[in-house]
Amino acid sequence: MSITNGNGHHNGKQSRFGEGKHGDSLEPSIGVQEFHALHAEDPSKIVFTEEDKKKIAEFVSRYPAKESAVMRALWYAQEKFGWLSIEAMNLVADTIPMPRADVHGVASFYTMYWKKPMGKTHLAICTNISCMLCGAYQLYNYIKKTYNIGNGDVTPDGLLSLEEAECLGSCGTAPAMQVNNYEYVENLTLDKLKAFLKERGLEK
């Protein structure tokens, strides 16, 4: 796990893969596939209200071991703050309570937890075997080239971010895309993707 103050970058040479080949997510990229814990812009705003604390206590009460509530608590914090800063992860740890390092470990493992601000529209396009064989890389690379963003990147205006998803569990409706960690768009085609982007005001 690498901890940075938001200004650190990995400057090593990136490996490149041919178009349509699985493994694009192995390219070093900031935020999603590598874990960089960042501080909140205003740490004083990363606080739980008494009502929030009651919700966390409710999550904890559902399990025989309080640590088991960490995933639900992290999700709650992300919904409240928009992403998981160092302060947000520490807040979850201190509220449960449990070791901060354990909370950071869980947050670093799952890509559904955002460790930096993502775009207003976040697209996770699956490129695992079923989706790959059904043309997922055509879709993924269209976003990359059209908006000049890579895996885990956000457009300068903050409106769009991209993630290469390892698997969305939607093999029967491949290729699939998940929007903002919730909505699934399935049986995706390039025309369908372009129509979706237009509907979101993101057409180029």
User: 55: domain CATH number?
Assistant: 1.10.10
Average pLDDT, rounded, for the chain: 87
Domain count, the chain: 2
pLDDT digits (tens, 9 = 90+) for 109-147: 998 999 999 999 999 999 999 999 999 999 999 999 999
Extract the tokens encoding 89.
Answer: 């992860």
Query: CB under 8 Å, gap of 24 or more: what pairs does 38-45 form?
Result: 38/4, 38/5, 38/6, 38/85, 38/86, 38/115, 38/116, 39/5, 39/6, 39/85, 39/86, 39/87, 40/81, 40/85, 40/86, 40/87, 40/88, 43/85, 43/87
Q: Is the dihedral of CA 90, 92, 95, 100 positive or negative?
A: negative
What is the extent of the structural domain holding 144?
A: 2-34+116-199
Question: Residue 178, SS3?
Answer: strand
- Average of per-residue pLDDT across 169-185: 96
Do 60 and 161 have their domain in common? no
Residue 37's pLDDT band, with cuts at 50, 70 and 90, is: confident
Both 129 and 180 in one domain: the answer is yes
pLDDT for position 21: 41
**Would residue 204 count as lying in a domain?**
no
Same structural domain, 97 and 120: no
Burial of 101 (0-12, 13-18, 19+ CB in 10 A): exposed
Asked if 30 and 123 sit in the same domain, the reply is: yes
Given a cut of 60, whether residue 25 has pLDDT beyond it is no
Same domain, 77 and 27: no
pLDDT band at residue 199 using 50, 70 and 90 as cut-offs: very high
Same domain assignment for residues 156 and 181 = yes
> What is the pLDDT confidence band of residue 34, given thresholds at 50, 70 and 90?
low
Please report, for the domain that includes residue 146, its CATH number: 3.40.30.10
Q: Is residue 95 part of a domain?
A: yes
58, 89: one domain: yes
> Which of 63, 87, 109 marks a domain boundary?
109
